[in-house]
Structure 1
Amino acid sequence: MSGAAATPAARLAALRAALAAAGVDGFLVPRADEHLGEYVPPSAERLAWLTGFTGSAGLAVVLADRAALFTDGRYTLQAAQQTDPALWERRHLTEEPPQDWLKRHAAGRRIGYDPWLHPEPQLARFEAAGVTLVPLEPNPLDQVWSDRPAPPASPVVPHPLAYAGAPSGEKREAAAAALREAGEAACVLSDPASIAWLLNIRGADVPYTPLPLCFALLRDDGAVELFLDPARLDGEARAWLGNDVAVRPRAELPAALDALGGRRVRVDAEATPAWFARRLRAAGAEVRAGEDPCRLPRACKNAVEQAGARAAHRRDAVALARFLAWFAEAAPRGGETEMSAAERLLAFRAAAPEFRGESFPAISGAGEHGAIVHYRVTPESDRPIRADECYLIDSGAQYPDGTTDVTRTLWTGPGAPPEALRERATRVLKGHIALATLRFPQGVAGPHLDAIARRALWDAGLDYDHGTGHGVGSYLSVHEGPAAFSRAAKPVPLRAGMILSDEPGFYAPGAYGIRLENLLLVREAEIPGAAKPFLEFETLTLAPFDRRLIAPRLLTPGERAWLDAYHARVAEEVAPLLDAATAAWLRAACAPIGD
């Protein structure tokens, strides 16, 4: 069967035939690769190939007589648009978890899974539904995906100290010390972002994130075994890694794990494919559950990375100002579409020599498309940007010194926006300001702060179905753990050096979407007389908010002062970097808000 030509029904039928041949009653298809990351190479887009759903998170469960696709609130509308209801039941990932669905429809049945695509805790939740899980290697879906793309193999390149700020040896010793303190001989590293950070390397194996896909074993003496094709490293990259990093072909990974028999080995259970722990146990190793020792240090940017983030955002601000000035003139004229606007912003960013690519696919949604939280415009869905409607643009860039992510909601004009829309947009802005201006004691975690950005919306009986913010990497993933502003996030205390997004929103399905996003850097707060250490945020993003969507009467004096000061800072830092016409537009857009 040709994977390109087959219909969704034919693909589902082919998978069911493969499952019957394997002797199982069903199969789990996550949106994941062997590293359980958000962005995956084309060779791992199994969920999209099978269902047509292209979102960044989801899970399909295929039985002989029915099949369901589970997505979260970001993708409810997208899943409905991209999948055939005759083939797929659409379910909410949190309101009706897959394990509940399995309990109702598959209890007592044998359900297959690929042990490289699921962490052990997830499998335990499925087993609790009363099904018998059966590991299948090779993956039966891969067997019927006849034109599956080849796995990526981009060159591994050094990430210079001018951007990284700390040598790999220093990072490896700190991580190894954590292992020694815990009495562990080694740690499995399956997250390529951790490996890239630890070894100060980058690659281009997945879209939008400069990663080389690989695995590693970190030893308690700081030595590392890096598992990927050695041909991907030239002489410079090999010398950059040094003598304490051994590069081995991926095929040697099973034997390396077997050699750890009788030793204590750390595995980050939630972030590591189940295959690893099961292989280690079979070899006689003691598997210790523990967090990836690179994850928290990676999130706490050092002084060099913080300075790089500021430089990257100033550079990005130039492109944003040029785009916003262009949009203010072009939108009322008409003739632009969601795709043409996104392409114009990309072109402005690409004018910077340091630009390395987008940090995620731009969300360019006009009118009703803005209400789809993670809308991705395609040639089929592209529509004109019309007069007198909302346009939401959520985008970001990768630079070697930092990663950006910014959202602005714009009014196209030429008329004035409805007052009800201005009120809702202002409530979103109030929530954004409430979080950006917050001071809080050390030890407070992201889930404790999520509600602060929602209060102004809650006061009016409104809400949004996504987290308020996520961590952001340093020339790494735009979505980085372990901290996040979300009710569903783990309560990881915020620490100085973390970078997180502040992006409350409101969405009226079929009409419009509003989201306002800046990136925030956590820093120590100096509060005279404070009884304990406090933290606060430094706003990194530099771009004006659309004043036409702001109702000043709803802002408190403190909120108005913050907005005016923020806009004054944007004009002061960015206008000198622009041509005269764009600088004049920016200064006008950043004038005091007035009444």
Structure 2
Amino acid sequence: MFQTFENQAERGATPARLKELRRLMAAAKLDAYLVPRADEFQGEYVPESAARLKFITGFTGSAGLAVIGKKTATLFADGRYTVQARAEVEPGLIEVSSVPRAKLGDWLAEHASRGHRIGFDPRLHTVAEVERLTAALKPHGIKLVPTNRNLVDRVWGRARPPAPKNPVALHPLKFAGRAAQEKIADIQKALKTDKQDAVVLTLSDSVAWTFNIRGSDIPHTPVALAFAIVPATGKPELFVGAEKLEPAVRKELETFAKISAPEGLAARLKALRKAGKRVRIDPGAAGYWFARTLGPKSTVRGGDPSIAMKAIKNAAEIKGARAAHLRDGVAITRFLAWLDTAAADTLDEIEAVRRLEGFRRATNQLREISFDTISGSGPNGAIVHYRVSEATNRKLKPGELFLIDSGAQYLDGTTDITRTVAIGKPTTEMRERFTLVLKGHIAVASARFPKGTRGIDLDPFARRALWQAGLDYDHGTGHGIGSYLSVHEGPQSISRAGMAVLEPGMIISNEPGYYKEGAYGIRIENLVLVTDLEKMPGADRETMGFETLTLAPIDRRLIVKEMLSPDDVAWLDAYHAHVAAALGPELDDEARGWLQAATAPL
């Protein structure tokens, strides 16, 4: 199994750990200490050796930050995680706040006093965040103090797991679509245009994409933890542990890159600083340590050039995505067919996860899952990023909803799909709210939009039907996705913060939802590809749209047909006809028969 089910929270250990952290804070003359989820690579997921937020608070979510004061502790978690956070942290010891991370400076200014010193690890907070906090706190006489060594690591001591040292693999050109040398040349062209001498790539997925390498240092995300410096001219420098490179891999990489030990990164940055070079770092992705090491004269703020490049998939990546989703759709459909006939009185959340992974393994092409499967029965489905454990495992009960959000990593693509399934007979309220979510999903999937449209412009499409009923959800509608890379990839998103322009070739999720705390959760998620600009008959201008890549039926038992418009019905029937035609030939007779019934026209 790629997924484990042990209870990861360590609530009972929290008091002693906080006590020791506060002792170290007092020795450093700090009034508070910031503990983020992020590691020095600023990725969404971290290895166990960098799970500091989980270690100190017990919270296991993939986004959050704790402020540890002399007597109080507060965990900041967004709307996806507030229910989970309250269940995992020690009651009365750590307060859970839903104040947005962007408002952290205002919160600190209100809760700290003039003259207070707030410590932080400069490697774990981005340049933009440190500058934002500094600006918010300075008028109040509150000072941010970088620490040379992470205080949580000192509390952890020898019990801290070792950093991962897994081997690096070359990503085949037939899947990457473009040679690493071509990608590096594009980055160098951008640097020359902007009159910059080099760029530091600090995100692991940026390094993986640029150098056409993959790894397994992070659970479920095929990256190697590494940094890189790409100069405007000459060979780029890849900072990666020698133990991760087998001779054949090293030989290939050395044809176009210099390989250096990670310990040499600081000296290299200082050499660039001494030489007066203009070095670009992405303030939203690079740790503050990079700006401190380069110094203000050498630091040039600018976006990581690879982010926009990798977001637009090339022909090979698009071909791979379609193949991956066809393969994954067969596995998902076999799972849904099995689920419909399984004995509901014995089936639980963990068994569902095991079965689904088994169907994916049967493809003989599964490399990993793309994240821990969210398998939520009844009230657990209302926890947006619920992770089932042996302690929380729950049976799938008749009359309830079951939400399963999962994904796979294949060499040719990354998948992410959510389906909500009725177990037994659903209530009228469940069906009505499912249909409202479906209307939002269809509104996005069928949208046409002109060049220059951003995700923020499309986000209301997904929410309008829910808003009309006085309902909503507290997460974004869609995120970008990598090509055998991160399941969450920028810059594109469909959300209230989605300011990136959507471009043909981008892959993004379409996943509106609704969550009734303590009762059930609903989410319908497909991945979609932004299509090329096209001038429709009789139109004045060209528009883009979405091609739905995900192939799996949507539960017809949860749909109130009368709530759908004729266009909604036409979209759903066409989608289901496409699913049946694509998947039918790949299934056995029993599963094909189930699929035909599940995709019958409304």
CA drift at 1:404: 0.3
Alignment of 1:187-586 (within 5 A): 187-221=199-233, 223-261=235-273, 262-281=276-295, 285-331=297-343, 333-413=344-424, 416-489=425-498, 491-526=499-534, 527-586=536-595
CA drift at 1:317: 0.6
CA drift at 1:223: 2.2
CA drift at 1:236: 1.8
Deviates more, 1:519-528 or 1:212-221: 519-528
* Amino acid of the structure 2 residue aligned with 1:271: A
The unaligned stretches of length 5 or more in structure 1 are: none
Aligned counterparts of 2:537 and 2:527: Cα–Cα separation in 1: 26
2:120 pairs with 96, 105, 113, which one?
A: 113
Aligned counterparts of 1:57 and 1:268: Cα–Cα separation in 2: 20
The unaligned stretches of length 5 or more in structure 2 are: 1-8
1:8 pairs with 4, 9, 14, which one?
A: 14
SS in 2 for 1:294: helix
Aligned counterparts of 1:230 and 1:465: Cα–Cα separation in 2: 43
Instruction: Name the counterpart of 2:69.
Output: 63
Residues 328 and 360 in structure 2, CA contact (< 8 A), matched pair in contact too: yes
Deviations 1:475-510 (A, max 9, x none): 000000001001023x11100110000000011111
* Amino acid of the structure 2 residue aligned with 1:200: N
* Amino acid of the structure 1 residue aligned with 2:214: R
CA drift at 1:259: 1.4
SS in 1 for 2:305: coil
Residues 439 and 525 in structure 1, CA contact (< 8 A), matched pair in contact too: no
CA drift at 1:247: 0.6
Deviates more, 1:136-145 or 1:219-228: 219-228
Deviations 1:539-573 (A, max 9, x none): 00000001110011111111101101100111101
Residues 468 and 502 in structure 1, CA contact (< 8 A), matched pair in contact too: yes
Instruction: Name the counterpart of 2:163.
Output: 151
CA drift at 1:70: 0.3
Aligned counterparts of 2:102 and 2:453: Cα–Cα separation in 1: 30
Deviates more, 1:240-249 or 1:508-517: 240-249
CA drift at 1:341: 0.7
SS in 2 for 1:18: helix
* Amino acid of the structure 1 residue aligned with 2:200: V
Change (3 A) 1:377 1:23: same
Aligned counterparts of 1:101 and 1:89: Cα–Cα separation in 2: 14
2:149 pairs with 138, 142, 166, which one?
A: 138
Aligned counterparts of 1:156 and 1:571: Cα–Cα separation in 2: 39
Aligned counterparts of 1:550 and 1:444: Cα–Cα separation in 2: 30
Aligned counterparts of 1:96 and 1:200: Cα–Cα separation in 2: 34
CA drift at 1:222: 5.4
Residues 503 and 516 in structure 1, CA contact (< 8 A), matched pair in contact too: yes
Deviations 1:242-273 (A, max 9, x none): 43301100111011101112111111001000
2:57 pairs with 31, 46, 51, which one?
A: 51
SS in 2 for 1:574: helix
Residues 442 and 535 in structure 1, CA contact (< 8 A), matched pair in contact too: yes
Aligned counterparts of 1:6 and 1:82: Cα–Cα separation in 2: 10
Residues 504 and 533 in structure 2, CA contact (< 8 A), matched pair in contact too: no
Deviates more, 1:582-591 or 1:86-95: 86-95
Instruction: Name the counterpart of 2:6.
Output: none
* Amino acid of the structure 1 residue aligned with 2:111: H
Change (3 A) 1:255 1:180: same
Aligned counterparts of 2:247 and 2:511: Cα–Cα separation in 1: 43
SS in 2 for 1:145: helix
Aligned counterparts of 2:363 and 2:49: Cα–Cα separation in 1: 31
Instruction: Name the counterpart of 1:81.
Output: 87
SS in 2 for 1:592: coil
Aligned counterparts of 2:366 and 2:429: Cα–Cα separation in 1: 39
Aligned counterparts of 1:443 and 1:488: Cα–Cα separation in 2: 16
Change (3 A) 1:243 1:95: closer
Change (3 A) 1:355 1:66: same
Aligned counterparts of 1:335 and 1:449: Cα–Cα separation in 2: 42
Aligned counterparts of 2:254 and 2:145: Cα–Cα separation in 1: 41
SS in 1 for 2:199: strand
Aligned residue pairs total: 585
Aligned counterparts of 1:222 and 1:326: Cα–Cα separation in 2: 56
* Amino acid of the structure 2 residue aligned with 1:565: A
* Amino acid of the structure 2 residue aligned with 1:420: E
Aligned counterparts of 1:278 and 1:535: Cα–Cα separation in 2: 43
Deviations 1:379-422 (A, max 9, x none): 00001111111000000000000000000000011xx3222211
SS in 2 for 1:454: helix
* Amino acid of the structure 1 residue aligned with 2:22: R
Residues 27 and 63 in structure 1, CA contact (< 8 A), matched pair in contact too: yes
Residues 175 and 222 in structure 1, CA contact (< 8 A), matched pair in contact too: no
Could you tell me the TM-score, scaled by structure 1's length?
0.96
Aligned counterparts of 2:267 and 2:65: Cα–Cα separation in 1: 31
CA drift at 1:334: 1.7
Instruction: Name the counterpart of 1:90.
Output: 96
* Amino acid of the structure 2 residue aligned with 1:573: A
CA drift at 1:575: 1.1
Quote the RMSD (CA, aligned, Å): 1.4
Could you tell me the TM-score, scaled by structure 2's length?
0.95
CA drift at 1:314: 0.4
SS in 1 for 2:80: helix
* Amino acid of the structure 2 residue aligned with 1:260: L
